Amino acid sequence: MNVTPSTTSRLIDSAVYTGGRRYASPESLAETYRCLDEQDAAMAWIGLYRADAGQIASLAREFKLHDLAVEDAITAHQRPKLERYGQTLFVVLRAARYVDSREHVEFSELHLFIGPDFVITVRHGEAPDLAAVRRRMESDPAMLARGPEAVLYAVLDQVVDGYAPVVAGLENDIDEIETEVFGGDPKVSRRIYELSREVIEFQRAARPLLGVLENLAAGYAKYGTDEELQRRLRDVSDHLTQVVERVDGFRHLLQNILTVNATLVSQ
């Protein structure tokens, strides 16, 4: 069941998997719980868009989610982080996408609950494209059979891959600003400021994610993380490091551009 997101909360997709293959596609949370109970060694993957308090409360009762994580999932506006409550991971991610028509970066928040036999995703914006993540995982049953941690890897990979077009868009905007500065455009100061704010916001989305990946890596041995997942998560970490370094460079470059522009204006 794929539904186009709207401003209202809704169940986007819910599935129960056995052996990496979709066993059932329940149309409600209650039906999902029943299907999961019917199957041994099954995994539920529940995707919600702007979940309301009632939906979160139902999930909290069924999967024994921690009160603090539940509160965060309802209110949103969290920094990227990873917290472990017993056997359940609570992960907050911030996705980004570059809107060409407005030369603007949009940010959105994603919360994940990862348990022994369930994955719950709560999306508070249009990105990332979790339907694409699900299709990719369902096309690779061997990977999906690795369980909830494999889904977490796939979502992290999607979020970090989504940063690449943002980096390219920001780089193009900075090139244009450099041209405008030396062309004497009187509006360039405002654009430098607005772009600097976007770069800072991007840093706040991407840099803390390095800590999330480091914390996951620190638990590999203790929690018996699959070796293939370890390798793939290291690849995600490498890509994220490159993004963070590029964005840090953008911030320094914009500071230099602002200084040059102030000097030209004073002259």
For residue range 12-37, list pLDDT tens digits in order: 899 999 999 999 999 999 999 999 99
- Are 108 and 94 in contact by the 8 Å Cβ rule? The answer is yes
Angstrom CA distances, 15 to 62, 139, 148, stand at: 16, 14, 13
The pTM is what? 0.89
pLDDT at position 115: 95
Residue 4 has pLDDT above 50, yes or no: no
Name the CA radius of gyration of the chain, rounded.
21
Task: Look up residue 185 and give its DSSP letter.
Answer: -
pLDDT digits (tens, 9 = 90+) for 101-150: 888 899 999 999 999 999 999 998 887 899 999 999 999 999 999 999 99
- Calculate the CA dihedral of residues 82, 88, 94, 96 and round it to 10 degrees: 130
pLDDT at position 3: 37
User: What three-state secondary structure class fits 225?
Assistant: coil
Six token digits for residue 163: 């940063």
pLDDT digits (tens, 9 = 90+) for 167-179: 999 999 999 888 8
Which range of 46-55, 171-180, 218-227, 241-250 scores highest in mean pLDDT? It is: 241-250
User: What three-state secondary structure class fits 126?
Assistant: coil
Average pLDDT, the chain: 89
Residue 221 has pLDDT above 80, yes or no: yes
Mean predicted confidence (pLDDT) in 255-259: 86
Residue with tokens 């460079």: 249
